[in-house]
Amino acid sequence: MNERSDDGRSDSDLASATGERRQLINLAYRLLGSLTEAEDVVQETYTRWYAMSEQRRNDIRSPGAWLTTVASRICLDLLDSARARRERYVGEWIPEPLPDRDEWGSAATPDPADRITLDESVHMAFLVVLESMTPAERVAFVLHDVFRYSFPEVAEIVGRTPAACRQLATSARRRIRSGRATSATSTTSTTSADRRADLVRSLKRAWEAKDIDALVDLLDPEVTAVGDGGGRAVAALVPIEGAERVARYLVDLADLAPGLTLSERTINGQPGLVAHVDDGSVTVIAFDVAGDRITHIWAVRNPEKLRPWGAGGVA
């Protein structure tokens, strides 16, 4: 798939490898759920590319295919080790949240080539379901269903047969359907973007007013709120379930942090909130919506995951 000898090849063909950076960042983020790790993967991929001799690089027919193969295999290795790391993680682990593309100018990776394409495959609800997959399922599913690689191409990348990769993707789709059924994310697409923004705005106002009844009205009766502090910021160690409990928890947080302010922002392509203390962002809050109710709340407080948001002190 990747190599052939072609002595007449121009330098511009080889230089096209650098144009794959954005694609690789997009792929690695979806595979790992971490922009930091995705950047590390892409750096390692290019390190391996330039560590080869010029002749070896010239012999590679498709630099993009070679880079994708290497990046995917690095991600697969990282996913295998990540399972053990996340078992030791303090509290719940939530994928690293991404700001809207218009906000990347002041972020840690301002180069437009490094921006993540914001589509349904990076919505927080989708990434959370991806976390339930085995590493092989996740890689096969993302490569085939999201990036449209054929199963023979996926097979060469992950080192399995096309039939095995097809089975992995089928198993991954079952997890997606199951996750949507239990979290009601299957109805998210039927809720307009304006309505989702209205719900988040209403929750912000009710939270600021410490109005428990108004909060309960906005929350699904079986809503789940998950916090991620990673041992570096105070956060609930286990999910909080139920509209009444979540509403009271939000009000208690407001009482504990009187200087906290909330702003409406776009998080992974969806309406969300960012909590600020002084000039720093201390919490990024993503939501999932079904119909006219909020079904999931994900609050990322680990400062290591808030680099693009201008993370400040820990509240």
Angle between helices 151-158 and 63-87 (to 10 degrees): 60
- Say if residue 223 is exposed, middle or buried (CB neighbours under 10 Å; 0-12, 13-18, 19+): buried
Q: Which residues pair with 267 in a beta bridge?
A: 99, 270
Is 176 found in the same domain as 38? Answer: yes
| Ranges 16-20, 158-162, 198-202, 205-209: which has the least confidence | 16-20
Is 138 found in the same domain as 24? Answer: yes
pLDDT at 138 > cutoff 90: yes
8 A C-beta contact, residue 97 and residue 267: yes
> What would the mean pLDDT of 20-36 be, rounded to a whole number?
94
Sign of the C-alpha dihedral computed for residues 100, 228, 241 and 257 taken in this order: negative
The radius of gyration of the chain from alpha carbons, rounded to an integer in Å, stands at: 21
> What would the mean pLDDT of 55-64 be, rounded to a whole number?
91
Tell me the C-alpha distance between 271 and 294, whole Å.
Answer: 12
What local confidence, expressed as pLDDT, does residue 53 receive? 93
What local confidence, expressed as pLDDT, does residue 4 receive? 41
What local confidence, expressed as pLDDT, does residue 314 receive? 46
Last residue of a domain, one of 158, 185, 212: 185
User: With bands split at pLDDT 50, 70 and 90, how would you rate the model's confidence at 131?
Assistant: very high
What local confidence, expressed as pLDDT, does residue 179 receive? 74
Is 216 found in the same domain as 156? Answer: no
| Nearest C-alpha neighbor of 287 from the set 221, 166, 182, 188 | 188
For residue 247 the two structure tokens come to: 């509403």
Cβ neighbours for 126, distance < 8 A, ≥ 6 positions apart: 120, 176, 185
What local confidence, expressed as pLDDT, does residue 12 receive? 54
What local confidence, expressed as pLDDT, does residue 186 receive? 40
Q: Render pLDDT for 236-260 as a digit per residue (tens, 0 to 9).
A: 999 999 999 999 999 999 888 888 8
Tell me the C-alpha distance between 240 and 193, whole Å.
Answer: 26
Q: What angle do CA 230, 232, 234 make, to 5 degrees?
A: 85
User: With bands split at pLDDT 50, 70 and 90, how would you rate the model's confidence at 117?
Assistant: confident
Sign of the C-alpha dihedral computed for residues 280, 251, 129 and 147 taken in this order: negative
8 A C-beta contact, residue 145 and residue 130: no
What residue has token string 């939270």?
Answer: 207
The DSSP output letter for 20 is G
pLDDT at 114 > cutoff 60: no
Is 142 found in the same domain as 46? Answer: yes
| Ranges 7-16, 143-152, 217-226: which has the least confidence | 7-16
108: containing domain: 11-185
pLDDT at 187 > cutoff 50: no
Q: Render pLDDT for 90-101 as a digit per residue (tens, 0 to 9).
A: 999 999 999 987
pLDDT at 291 > cutoff 80: yes
Last residue of a domain, one of 185, 204, 222: 185
How many CB atoms within 10 Å of residue 64? 15
pLDDT at 110 > cutoff 70: no
The DSSP output letter for 258 is T
Q: Which residues pair with 228 in a beta bridge?
A: 300
Q: How many domains does the chain have?
A: 2
Output the domain CATH number for residue 262.
Answer: 3.10.450.50
Instruction: Give the percent of the chain with pLDDT over 70.
Output: 85
> What would the mean pLDDT of 199-204 be, rounded to a whole number?
98
Is 117 found in the same domain as 35? Answer: yes
What local confidence, expressed as pLDDT, does residue 184 receive? 44
Is 280 found in the same domain as 216? Answer: yes
Mapping DSSP to helix (H, G, I), strand (E, B) and coil, where does residue 312 land?
Answer: coil
